[in-house]
A and B are shown apart, each in its own frame.
Chain A
Amino acid sequence: MSKLTTFFWACLLATCAGYAWNNTGLVKYDGLFLLDMEGKRASVWGTHVGDSVQVRNWTFTAGLDYIHYDFFLFNEGKSVEETWTLDSKGSLSIGHVSVSKDFNLFGLDADVSSLPSVKVSSRFYLPDSLFFARASMGKGLLDLSGLHWKSEWEEDYVPEIDGTFRSIYLMKDFNAGIRLKEHILQGGFAYGADTPSLDDRWGYVFSDSSHFWGTRANYLYQGRKNEFEALYAYLYADVRLFALTREYGTDINEKRFAYFPLGIDFNLFKLSYRYKFDRGDVLRACLLYATLEMNIPWENRRFYETLAPNKALKNSVLRTLSFSVFQRTFRIYGDIDGKLFYGGLGYEWNLPLSRWHMVLNTDADYFYGSYEGKLNLRKEKAGMFYMTHQTDFWEKEGYLFGIVAGLELQVQTPSRKIFAGLRLNQIVPLGMKFESKMIEKEPVIIDDVPPEPPPVNPDENPFVEEESTEDMEPLSSLIFRNGFFLGFEVGFWI
């Protein structure tokens, strides 16, 4: 934490030094501590420092983000051979600069970051925003190192995998709307694609070749006291994640040892309402419903197995001979569907503090999320004189409901030009149940079409794993470590 503190104060000092000649500035710390339980850990925290200057119709913005992430998962299998650890820990420092220029009826924006990434937008608008449109295009490189998988079984043929993820993304976005007095109607369409970029990466590498598109429409009413918004968004994604071993010999040698295609359909409906009282207090309400459908398609092609550990073997003799005596491949296919209901109420108090201002914000949101999945795991074995396979069928379902409580406090100077704020959010689970039923299937001959799930024998007792609220640690020990968000910020604008 001392590193973070030093960094934070350095940023704060830099911002304050620039105060004399800048228009706005902000220093921010956000931390999301999602999980910290035995065998599971996930957290992200970061700081942001930014400045922007406006000179006539030019706007210059510069900023620096520092993001630290930590993910850890210990999978305890039925035996040591099936027990492994997956973790990823790292940090990213991203600097970015953007320039905007506004002309009479249109504007241009350019944004460059050290990812590296670049984004350009052009805006068109009629006076009074009767009609407005915006088109942007961006391209960047995603580079994550520090993916680490380790088997608990010391004699495992592939004991350890240290990998990097690298992919180039492309985003195109178009947005248009009209404004008639207090009514705004807006629609947009976005397209994106990921292409692998592994040219100078060796060893175990991960990447994806995906494309996605999304559309959204929203209606906004902005009255003097009332504000109402209705939003619908849809996202379609066709994701193909894969892992390769890459070596450089007389030529570039690539072997795909994992392939994971995933189709995603995501729908979001949102209604929100905001009422501003004369005394400055604000009441907020929102309602959200989202559905997520994920499909892992059946893939029967050779070289496109979900996991082909033989190809991940490091030693070339062992790798070659293993195909004759000890070939194992795994193919996963199936569907997972999820739903989320979310509703919340919030109230914002504007409290005078002698000549200073204090804004106190409280939220109490309720959520209910559920999922059900039907997954097939086909295990294939082959040796020199035989091939055999068996499919395990999994039914997974579960739900989680609870409260997200939020508290925000902001203090502003009498001129409201300098502010400092603190925000806390805590997810409080009230009930949950995760269930996993496994039915082992006899070997089947598979045809070109994916096989039907196997019939469930009613006399058979399937293997069931269950986890519910009772299995959890006491609630008090979970709070501030799990599902906890912390943010504070200091900024100014003149």
Chain B
Amino acid sequence: MKKIVLLGAALSLAFFSACSSDDHSSTSPEDDTLSSSSSITLDDIDKILGSSSSKGKDNPTSSDNKSSSSESKTTSSSSEKVVESSSAIVIEDDGFKRAACDMQSDEGTLLALDLINEKSIKMFEAFSDKDMEAAKSLSAEVKPMYKKVLDKDSKNCNAQLGYAVASIVDLANNETLRGLYNDYKYWYDYGIESVAEFTTMLADLSKNKSFTKIAQDALDKEVAPMVDSAITYMQNIMAQGDYILNIRDGEYIRELDNSEFGVALGGLFATKAAIIMATSMNLEIDVKGSYEWINGINGMTIGDEEPTQAQKDFIVQFVKLVGLNGTFTTIYTDWQKAWKTIPSLIDSAITEARVAFQYSLDESKMKNSQDNDLYVVGNGADADVSIDDIQEILDGLDTALKVTRGTYEVKYRGQTIKIDARKYFENVAGIEAYLPYYTFDGSDLATFYFTDKSGKKTASLLDFMDGTLSFLDDGEDYIVFGDPSFGGIFPEFKTQADIWSAVRGADDEEDDW
């Protein structure tokens, strides 16, 4: 959980910036060669946009093309490509309009975009040099500038791309996320070594609300809207099909095209899926605001010896949380609709990434089409990655799509088990839906008994805890699951025997638990 929240808080950084291990990082922006234009302000953009609004759209070469400009691809590649993109897919009605962006700009817009792009390149350089202060201040400037261009020319590809990227990066300036990040970083740096320190951390991270709720709110209210708008703009760019952005550094030019945009959009979809997964689930593990009970897990083993009283108390509390009528891992009512969209979000993520890599592969077959690409695909030494590399990724993505779209077979202990992962997202009742029958009065662990469907007691949990009975060997005789297919996740499990024979496996390997 901690990792998910940290990931969310650091999302903007991890997603776009390179984490440099380079020590020689301090470069002052003042000395940079591009500094002449970086002093551009929002007012200047206003002036540039306003002064040339009457100019025609037929003069796209007027800009010096120093840092970037949009241009259309000269080949007819797009018509040859079989593009299976989800760009037109609207996952839910999020209030955004989707339409392919426009590559044409008038002279003033082009000039303004060149200047803003230069500034955003500097922003990314600052990120790569770990100069966070410069990066944050540049990010705060860049986002409204792209917004200005969008206000004038709402369909502009460059402005849409710039705004999408800037709004994600600008999360670095978000006070809520910043605070959250610092709180978690403190404990991360602290280096937690004991259960007691862990529960102290949980208590510390929780303020007027539980730490889980704080993180979920931040993801929902601060990150999710930015991700949604970025998805819309990136979809517009992918729908255009042939949009290219050039980045120039001296004699070097790098060209961004669908190979990159597709991966970025796929990443955004995956991020959105992760956000929904993290925010829609009830993850409250406190007992009246306290996390002390978790300390009971200390030194616990299963099947070896009689648990101590503290350990028993821990299990009692744990069963109360996750057990029948427990709330842990259930999906909040108002999030249940979103929860069920997760498989299609993951599907979109994989599909977009697939489009991107297919685009790279197609480009590798056309002469000179990837001269300035971030990576050049080809089998020779004058290339960065091989055709086989891309094919391997595509095959991997195809497998992932199969997993998302239907049942998938996995090998486990010498047998083949069919899994339908989508079914997990149809369950809103949490872990509870997968539990075996039992009875427990909540007072003492000794009152925990597994039962059959009719409620007749079969065995005490303590018998399994102290080793009198073994889950693996005796489980089948005493433990009965309400739904052998676990909500359809294992479609071939029809009976209790199916479950236990799968758990034991076809061979005689030793089990760890």
Flag the segment in B105-113, B117-125, B311-319 that touches A: B117-125
CA–CA, A447 and B249, complex, Å: 10
B379-409 vs A, Cβ < 8 Å mask (1 yes, 0 no): 1111111111111110010000000000000
- B129, B165, B374, B381: the one contacting A382 at CB < 8 Å is B374
At the interface, yes or no: B198 with Cβ under 8 Å from chain A?
no
At the interface, yes or no: A317 with Cβ under 8 Å from chain B?
yes
At the interface, yes or no: A374 with Cβ under 8 Å from chain B?
no
At the interface, yes or no: B263 with Cβ under 8 Å from chain A?
yes
At the interface, yes or no: B256 with Cβ under 8 Å from chain A?
yes
B392 touches A385 (CB 8 A): no
B6-18 vs A, Cβ < 8 Å mask (1 yes, 0 no): 0000000000111
A327 touches B386 (CB 8 A): no
- Contacts A384-B256, A386-B128: A303 and B249 contacting too (C-beta < 8 A)? no
- Pick the most buried of A247, A302, A387: most chain B CB atoms within 10 A of its CB: A387
- A379, A383, A444: the one contacting B16 at CB < 8 Å is A383
- Contacts A316-B392, A448-B251: A326 and B18 contacting too (C-beta < 8 A)? yes
Which chain A residues numbered 313 to 356 have a C-beta less than 8 Å away from chain B?
316-317, 319-321, 323-327
At the interface, yes or no: A411 with Cβ under 8 Å from chain B?
no
Flag the segment in A9-17, A283-291, A388-396 that touches B: A388-396
Write the chain A residue with the least CB distance to B390: A320
- Contacts A244-B381, A323-B374, A324-B375: A385 and B121 contacting too (C-beta < 8 A)? yes
Given the complex, which residues of B lie within 8 Å of A303, measured CB to CB? 376, 381-384
At the interface, yes or no: A36 with Cβ under 8 Å from chain B?
no
Min Cβ gap A433→B in Å is: 26
A383 touches B31 (CB 8 A): no
B389 touches A316 (CB 8 A): yes
Given the complex, which residues of A lie within 8 Å of B16, measured CB to CB? 325, 383-385
At the interface, yes or no: B260 with Cβ under 8 Å from chain A?
yes
CA–CA, A392 and B260, complex, Å: 31
At the interface, yes or no: B92 with Cβ under 8 Å from chain A?
no
Write the chain A residue with the least CB distance to B386: A253
Write the chain B residue with the least CB distance to A155: B21
At the interface, yes or no: A446 with Cβ under 8 Å from chain B?
yes
Min Cβ gap B281→A in Å is: 29
Given the complex, which residues of B lie within 8 Å of A444, measured CB to CB? 33
Given the complex, which residues of B lie within 8 Å of A6, measured CB to CB? none
At the interface, yes or no: A81 with Cβ under 8 Å from chain B?
yes
Given the complex, which residues of B lie within 8 Å of A249, measured CB to CB? 386-388
Given the complex, which residues of A lie within 8 Å of B122, measured CB to CB? 386
Write the chain A residue with the least CB distance to B124: A386
A321 touches B263 (CB 8 A): yes
CA–CA, A320 and B17, complex, Å: 16
CA–CA, A244 and B22, complex, Å: 25
Given the complex, which residues of B lie within 8 Å of A388, measured CB to CB? 27, 125, 128-129, 249
Min Cβ gap A169→B in Å is: 21
- Pick the most buried of B18, B254, B256, B391: most chain A CB atoms within 10 A of its CB: B18
B23 touches A78 (CB 8 A): yes
Min Cβ gap A375→B in Å is: 16
Min Cβ gap A413→B in Å is: 60
Given the complex, which residues of B lie within 8 Å of A79, measured CB to CB? 23
CA–CA, A453 and B127, complex, Å: 27
- A300, A311, A317, A443: the one contacting B251 at CB < 8 Å is A300
B388 touches A387 (CB 8 A): no
- Pick the most buried of A316, A382, A384: most chain B CB atoms within 10 A of its CB: A384
- Contacts A244-B381, A320-B375, A386-B124: A251 and B388 contacting too (C-beta < 8 A)? yes
- Interface size in chain A (residues, C-beta < 8 A): 48
Which chain A residues numbered 432 to 450 have a C-beta less than 8 Å away from chain B?
440, 442-448
Min Cβ gap A333→B in Å is: 15
A376-415 vs B, Cβ < 8 Å mask (1 yes, 0 no): 0001011111111110100000000000000000000000
At the interface, yes or no: B252 with Cβ under 8 Å from chain A?
yes
CA–CA, A251 and B383, complex, Å: 14
Given the complex, which residues of B lie within 8 Å of A181, measured CB to CB? none
B387 touches A251 (CB 8 A): yes
A446 touches B251 (CB 8 A): yes
- How many B residues touch the partner, as a band? 35 or more
CA–CA, A443 and B121, complex, Å: 14
A247 touches B252 (CB 8 A): no
At the interface, yes or no: A457 with Cβ under 8 Å from chain B?
no
At the interface, yes or no: A48 with Cβ under 8 Å from chain B?
no
Min Cβ gap B146→A in Å is: 13
CA–CA, A446 and B393, complex, Å: 35
Write the chain B residue with the least CB distance to A387: B249
- Pick the most buried of A79, A244, A255, A389: most chain B CB atoms within 10 A of its CB: A255
A381 touches B18 (CB 8 A): yes
Given the complex, which residues of A lie within 8 Å of B24, measured CB to CB? 379, 390, 392, 440
A443 touches B27 (CB 8 A): yes
At the interface, yes or no: B350 with Cβ under 8 Å from chain A?
no
At the interface, yes or no: A254 with Cβ under 8 Å from chain B?
yes
Given the complex, which residues of A lie within 8 Å of B390, measured CB to CB? 316, 320
At the interface, yes or no: B95 with Cβ under 8 Å from chain A?
no
Min Cβ gap B376→A in Å is: 8
Min Cβ gap A299→B in Å is: 13
Which chain A residues numbered 59 to 76 have a C-beta less than 8 Å away from chain B?
none
At the interface, yes or no: A252 with Cβ under 8 Å from chain B?
yes
Given the complex, which residues of A lie within 8 Å of B263, measured CB to CB? 321, 324
- Pick the most buried of B24, B28, B33, B387: most chain A CB atoms within 10 A of its CB: B24
CA–CA, A327 and B339, complex, Å: 36
CA–CA, A470 and B125, complex, Å: 44
Min Cβ gap B230→A in Å is: 14
Given the complex, which residues of A lie within 8 Å of B127, measured CB to CB? 386
A384 touches B251 (CB 8 A): no
B396 touches A386 (CB 8 A): no
At the interface, yes or no: B32 with Cβ under 8 Å from chain A?
yes
CA–CA, A247 and B125, complex, Å: 34
B22 touches A381 (CB 8 A): yes
B389 touches A320 (CB 8 A): yes
At the interface, yes or no: B20 with Cβ under 8 Å from chain A?
yes
A384 touches B374 (CB 8 A): yes
At the interface, yes or no: A250 with Cβ under 8 Å from chain B?
yes
Given the complex, which residues of B lie within 8 Å of A302, measured CB to CB? 376, 382
- Contacts A247-B388, A320-B389, A324-B374: A381 and B128 contacting too (C-beta < 8 A)? yes
Given the complex, which residues of B lie within 8 Å of A382, measured CB to CB? 254, 374
B386 touches A247 (CB 8 A): yes
CA–CA, A389 and B33, complex, Å: 11
Which chain B residues numbered 363 to 382 have a C-beta less than 8 Å away from chain A?
374-376, 379-382
Min Cβ gap A462→B in Å is: 13
Write the chain B residue with the least CB distance to A325: B18
Given the complex, which residues of A lie within 8 Å of B20, measured CB to CB? 381
Given the complex, which residues of B lie within 8 Å of A311, measured CB to CB? 384
Min Cβ gap A483→B in Å is: 35
- Contacts A255-B383, A255-B384: A316 and B393 contacting too (C-beta < 8 A)? yes
Given the complex, which residues of A lie within 8 Å of B459, measured CB to CB? none
Min Cβ gap A300→B in Å is: 7
At the interface, yes or no: A256 with Cβ under 8 Å from chain B?
yes
Min Cβ gap B456→A in Å is: 52
At the interface, yes or no: B247 with Cβ under 8 Å from chain A?
yes
Min Cβ gap A152→B in Å is: 13
- Contacts A324-B374, A326-B19, A440-B24: A445 and B250 contacting too (C-beta < 8 A)? yes
A255 touches B386 (CB 8 A): yes
Residues of B within 8 A of A (CB): 16-24, 27-28, 31-33, 120-122, 124-125, 127-129, 165, 247, 249-252, 254, 256, 260, 263-264, 357, 374-376, 379-393, 396
User: 10 A-B pairs, CB-CB below 8 angstroms?
Assistant: A255-B385, A302-B382, A320-B375, A320-B385, A324-B260, A383-B18, A384-B256, A384-B260, A385-B16, A442-B28
Known: A389-B249, A443-B33. 18 other contacts (CB 8 A): A79-B23, A253-B379, A303-B376, A303-B381, A310-B384, A316-B388, A316-B390, A319-B385, A323-B385, A324-B260, A326-B19, A379-B22, A383-B16, A384-B374, A385-B165, A442-B31, A443-B27, A443-B31
Closest 4 CB pairs of A and B: A249-B388, A386-B124, A323-B375, A316-B389
